Amino acid sequence: MYRLIIFIILFSWAFGHPIHAQQMHFILNDSTGVPEIVLDEITIRAPKERIELKSLTGAATVLTARTLKENRIESIKDISAITPNLFMPDYGSKLTSPVYIRGIGSRINSPSVGLYVDQIPYFEKSAFDFDFFDIERVEVLRGPQGSLYGRNSMGGIINIITRAPGEKPETSFRLSAATYGEYAAGLSHYNKISKDLGYSLSFNYRHTDGFFTNTYNNEQVDYMDALGMRNRLSWQINERWQLSNILSYEYSKQGGYPYAVYNDSLEKAELINYNQPSGYERNLLSNGLILNYKGPRIEMISTTSYQALVDFQEIDQDFTADSLYLVTQKQQQHMLSQEFVFKSAYAGNYQWVAGVFGFTQLLDKSVDVDVYAQKLRMFKSYDEINSGFALFHQSMLDNFLINGLTLTAGIRIDFEQSKLSYTYDMLRNGQNNSIADTTYPLLNYNEVSPKIALSYALTNQTSVYALAAKGFKTGGFNSTFERPEDLTFLPEQSWNYELGIKTSLFEQRTFAELSLFYIDWTNQQIYQTVPSGRGSMLKNAGHSLSKGFEVSVKSSLPLNFEVFVAYGYTHASFLSHIVDSTKNYNGNFLPYVPRHTLALQLNKTIKVNTRFIDRIRITGLWKSTGELFWNEQNNFSQQAYNLIDLNIAFTKNNFEIRLFGENIFGEEYTSFYFEALGNRYMQSGKPAQFGIDLSLKI
């Protein structure tokens, strides 16, 4: 708490200097400037629900380009804590990207939170962690979105929208440097080939020496280089038809896994000290072709997408100075999807959206495990094909029964199947043995996901809502298993019940929302290690419950102050989870779910009439993460911790210099913990970091 007090004192001191300031109006949904737009005109732009935030029957958070820039949100992991009840632990490599919303998430296999980038679905968590650049906004819709989005949206969806070409040519540059050898550069160009054909081309590069040292070789263990590009074409064919193509690519190579053995007697982690080279290399390509038709009564959106992911992982699985286990993994994923969305485009009390979605996903993975002590090598390969088809519809009826009451009802039917071919060879003392060479029977899943919601406008500025929605996460094959009963896991289903209120106050200078939720779900997919300890798998728990609430407030204050507060509370526990006669976890908290998340952001804009500076903008952010347990036993936890960021930007016309500090007080915390091979391992959170950003638009 004393650090928060110091933070507020520093912030107040920065604001207290007698610089000539003028009264300025506050905007939350602009990009970088300060235009006048009232708060409740913020619109959710997810392709299936273009609706004003105040009218959305469900909890949502919108992060604009300005919010992303001021808080240096450069990946999905940076959204953690600034969005109520969203937690994404920062550990390992880009391969490990679990997201938890309201307690719902998964460490391995398919995600429980959906991700869409420019309407392109990202089905694998190994594709989630990419560098942000030229992002227009990020929308987080919390709670099951199954009726419109289907699989893997039990916790909610994250919708990322990149910047589209504008009416005027523009070129922007960005340079950044920070402690721990972090450097970044960006270049973007927007232009038009003709009146109706525009394009954008963007590049981004990032390097870091790393935050943690491996004492075995005295080298940084978590270095990274990443290079990304995006090309976007937009063709207004005529007044009704528009065609867009969005191509993005990222190459990244990083050291990974700054894990240290936890010493029980000392009750702290030892130094990072392992001898085998470890790292992760990934190529990620995505392309989306979007055809949009706007007629007098109907709108159609066709999205054809393709994603290719090719990666390589090498990991010292014992994380000690001894040569015990080395695992290498190669993976290729190809995913093709097609979706047609039809929406009403006329004024009236009745609005609707309907569509069809289909996908095919090919996964080819090989794993090589070297067990030095036993002079043993195991070679496993997995060829998996997942495919699916879905139909969905949602209707919205205004003034249902009485004026101001809106009824929303939706349903989705999903059909999916999975096929796995598996080979397992063992090489011992020069002798090769074939253990398995099998193609397993098809797994078939059919799911029906309904939703019903009521919203009532108490006034023009205030509405309340209630909803019930079902979500599901698909089942499938475990990529690591040692017993026949561990080969597959079942789908998990949830029912989410939610009450909420949204309101604009003080001449629309304050927007606030409160939501209460109760999630009841069965067959929860739980991460567990395989019996040997060399690998992980999913098993189903019987019955789990998550309940809590969220509150967020965005407000413009006198003297050009702005405040943003987002708080979330989640109580997620097992109602029925008995592994065997000695392992009864009934009543325990779910792992990886902080009970509290809190973000408090204070901003001040100062108009300066000088030759060199037009405007000064100061931003302070306090992020608090509550206690969370790392395992089902609830015998190891991370206590609540607080991170404070502070930055100040000096702007002159289209040139900006930003000085920033993250975790400025150097709060020590554990970002990850796990148990394997009879040991406990930990990864520490990132230390304090300071740097400078330069940006220019011409």
Report the mean per-residue pLDDT for the chain: 88
- Picking from 92, 131, 132, the residue whose alpha carbon sits closest to that of residue 108 is 92
Read off the pLDDT of each residue in 606-624 and give the average, rounded to a whole number.
92
Strand 615-625 and strand 543-557: pairing? unpaired
More confident residue, 129 or 42: 129
Q: Is the pLDDT of residue 151 over 50?
A: yes
Task: Tell me if 588 sits within 8 A of 632, measured CB to CB.
Answer: yes
**Cα gap 138→498, rounded to integer Å:** 23
> Which amino acid appears at position 75 of this protein?
S
| pLDDT at 37 exceeding the cut of 50 | no
> How far apart (Å, rounded) are the C-alpha atoms in residues 639 and 634?
12
Asked if pLDDT for residue 241 goes beyond 80, the answer is yes
CA distance 280 to 526: 25
| Planar angle of CA 161, 164, 166, nearest 5 degrees | 145
DSSP symbols for 497-535 = EEEEEEEEETTTTEEEEEEEEEEEEES-EEEEE-TTSSS
pLDDT over 60 at 390, yes or no: yes
Q: Specify which of 24-38, 138-152, 395-409 reaches the highest per-range mean pLDDT.
A: 395-409
CA 670/CA 560 separation, integer angstroms? 37
> Is 50 exceeded by the pLDDT of residue 30?
no
pLDDT per residue as tens digits for the range 407-436? 999 999 999 999 999 899 999 888 888 888
For residue 107, the model assigns a pLDDT of 79
Q: Is the pLDDT of residue 29 over 70?
A: no
As a 3-state breakdown, the chain gives helix, strand, coil percent values, each rounded to 5, of: 5, 60, 35
- Each residue of 74-118: pLDDT tens digit? 999 999 878 999 999 888 899 988 899 999 988 777 788 999 999
Please name the residue that has the structure tokens 């029964």. 401
DSSP bridge pairs for 468: 452, 497
For the segment 495-510, the average pLDDT, to the nearest whole number, is: 90
Distance between CA atoms of residues 639 and 83, nearest Å: 20
Q: Counting Cβ atoms within 10 Å, is residue 446 exposed (0-12), middle (13-18) or buried (19+)?
A: exposed
The mean pLDDT value for 663-680 works out to 91
The tens digit of pLDDT for each residue in 297-332 reads 999 999 999 999 999 999 998 999 999 999 999 999
Q: Decide if pLDDT at 38 tops 50.
A: no
How far, in Å, are 213, 501, 603, 662 from residue 563 at the CA level?
A: 38, 20, 6, 19
Q: Cα dihedral angle (146, 293, 138, 461), rounded to 10 degrees?
A: -80
Q: What is the pLDDT of residue 10?
A: 45
CB 243 within 8 A of CB 290: yes
Q: Check whether 698 has a pLDDT greater than 80.
A: yes
Residue 49 pLDDT: 66
Sheet holding 268-269, edge to edge: 268-269, 260-263, 679-684, 670-676
Least confident interval from 364-368, 538-542, 683-687: 538-542
Lowest mean pLDDT among 94-98, 148-152, 425-429, 592-596: 148-152
At 526, is the pLDDT very low, low, confident or very high (cuts 50, 70, 90)?
A: confident
Amino acid at 490: L
- The mean pLDDT value for 5-27 works out to 40
Q: What is the largest CA-CA distance in the chain?
A: 81
Mean pLDDT of 238-264: 94
What is the reported pLDDT for 36? 30
Confidence check: pLDDT of 40 > 50: no
- Does the pLDDT of residue 27 top 50, yes or no? no
Say what the pTM is: 0.90
pLDDT tier, 45 (very low <50, low <70, confident <90, very high otherwise):
low
Q: If you average pLDDT over residues 61-66, what whole number do you get?
A: 90
Higher-pLDDT residue of 537, 187: 187
Q: Decide if 477 contacts 452 (C-beta within 8 A).
A: no
> Tokens for 375?
């002079």
Percent of the chain with pLDDT over 90: 65
Q: Quick one: what percent of the chain has pLDDT higher than 70?
A: 92
Q: Which pLDDT score, from 0 to 100, does residue 9 have?
A: 44
Does residue 35 register a pLDDT over 80? no
CB within 8 Å of 196: residues ≥ 6 apart: 235, 236, 237
- Predicted confidence at residue 132, as pLDDT, reads 94
pLDDT of residue 43: 67
pLDDT of residue 125: 85
Ramachandran bin of 94, using left for φ above 0, alpha for ψ from -120 to 50, beta for the remaining angles = alpha
Average pLDDT over residues 568-575: 94
CATH topology of domain 20-697: Maltoporin; Chain A (2.40.170)
> Which DSSP category does 7 fall into?
H
Domain residue ranges of the chain, discontinuous segments joined by +: 20-697
pLDDT(52) > 80:
no
Question: How far apart, in whole angstroms, are the C-alpha atoms of residue 87 and residue 34?
Answer: 30
pLDDT bucket at 265, cuts 50 / 70 / 90: confident
| Residue that is written with structure tokens 């690519």 in the block | 249
